Amino acid sequence: MFETAGCKGCHTLKDAGATGTVGPNLDTVQPPPSLSLAVDRVTNGKNAMPSFKGQLTTKQIADVTAYVVKATGGNPNG
């Protein structure tokens, strides 16, 4: 989902083999994202990041955000 949603084009995430430079490097962002923050960003966007509400299903948003949180060591309960 990270790749098919286009996240790879903007973000760096070693686990996904992504080297994008438009958005934050998810490997180094501190603190690592919580699940609630990741869901909010993907759903609503912020700054250069577009909203994916209406482009991705609720399940797709849940899948991609859970993956990002796990891959970055973020808080899956937050």
Both structure tokens of 13: 């995430």
Tokens of 76: 């899956």
Give tens-digit pLDDT for 14-65.
999 999 999 999 999 999 999 999 999 999 999 999 999 999 999 999 999 9
29, 72 in Cβ contact below 8 A? Answer: yes
pTM above 0.85, yes or no: yes
**Which stretches within 1-78 are classed as H helix?**
35-44, 58-72
Dihedrals phi, psi of 23, to nearest 5 degrees: -100, 180
How far apart, in whole angstroms, are the C-alpha atoms of residue 51 and residue 37?
A: 13
Q: Which helix (H) or strand (E) is 13 found in, with range?
A: strand 12-13
